[in-house]
């Protein structure tokens, strides 16, 4: 499968993980299945987790992984 076809299936996600007084905020471009897996993995490690799809215009470039 060509790379450009793979990228079209990827969306931008806002990732928030909170543990104690530490808050981690990032954006990443993922396919929906990977976003679900990331959410489940982070739930095992942090007190509060949010992985939400966002439009490209809502991405803060300095937080993009």
The DSSP code sequence of 32-64 is HHHHHHHHHHHHTT-SEEEEEEE-GGG--GGGB
Backbone angles phi, psi at 19, to 5 degrees: -140, 115
Q: How far is CA 28 from CA 8, 10, 20, 32, 38, in A?
A: 14, 10, 23, 11, 11
pLDDT digits (tens, 9 = 90+) for 30-65: 999 999 999 999 999 999 999 999 999 999 999 999
Token pair of 2 as six digits? 């060509």
> CA gyration radius for the chain?
13
Query: What's the pTM value of the predicted model, to 2 decimals?
Result: 0.83
Q: Give the residue extent of every domain in the chain.
A: 3-63
Residue 7, pLDDT > 90, answer no
């Amino acid at each position: 499968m060509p790379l450009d076809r793979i990228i079209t299936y990827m969306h931008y996600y806002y990732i928030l993980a909170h543990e104690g007084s530490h808050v981690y905020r990032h954006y990443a471009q993922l396919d929906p299945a990977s976003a679900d897996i990331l959410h489940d993995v982070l739930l095992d490690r942090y007190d509060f987790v949010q992985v939400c799809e966002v439009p490209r215009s809502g991405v803060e470039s300095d937080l993009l992984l």
